[in-house]
Amino acid sequence: MQSHLKSPQTGILSAQRQHTGHRKSLYSVRDLQHIAVRRHLYSMKSIIDTIGKLLSIGLVACLITACYYDVEEELYPDTGCDSEDISYSEDVLPLLQTHCLVCHSQMANFGNINLEGYDQVLVHVGTGGLLGSIRGDDGWSVMPQGRPRMLDCNIEKIASWIEDGAPNN
Ligand code: HEC
Per DSSP, the residues of 150-169 read: PPHHHHHHHHHHHHTT----
Q: How far apart are CA 154 and CA 136, in angstroms?
A: 14
Ligand 1 centroid from CA 98, angstroms: 13
Distance (Å, whole) CA 106 – CA 96: 13
Quote the ligand 1 centre to 160 CA distance (angstroms): 21
CA 142, 152, 81: angle at the middle one, nearest 5? 155
Quick count: other Cβ atoms within 10 Å of Cβ 145? 12
What is the per-residue pLDDT for 98?
Answer: 97
The vertex-95 CA angle with 120 and 130, nearest 5°, equals 45
Q: Residue 127 C-alpha to ligand 1 middle, in angstroms?
A: 13
The residue to mutate among 99, 120, 134, 143, having the most atoms of ligand 1 within 8 angstroms of its beta carbon, is 143
Q: Which atom of ligand 1 is nearest to the CA of 96?
A: 37
Cα separation, 129 vs 158, in Å, equals 12
How many A from CA of 67 to the centre of ligand 1? Answer: 40
- Please give the pLDDT value at position 107: 96
Q: What is the pLDDT of residue 24?
A: 54
Sign of the Cα pseudo-torsion (128, 132, 134, 135, in order): positive
| pLDDT for the residue numbered 57 | 65
Give the position, in ligand 1's atom list, of the atom nearest the Cα of 124: 29
Going residue by residue through the chain, which has 169 residues, state the pLDDT in tens, using 9 for 90 and above: 554 555 555 555 454 555 555 555 555 666 666 666 677 667 777 877 876 787 776 666 656 566 555 666 666 666 789 999 999 999 999 999 999 999 999 999 999 999 999 999 999 999 999 999 999 999 999 999 999 999 999 999 999 999 999 999 9
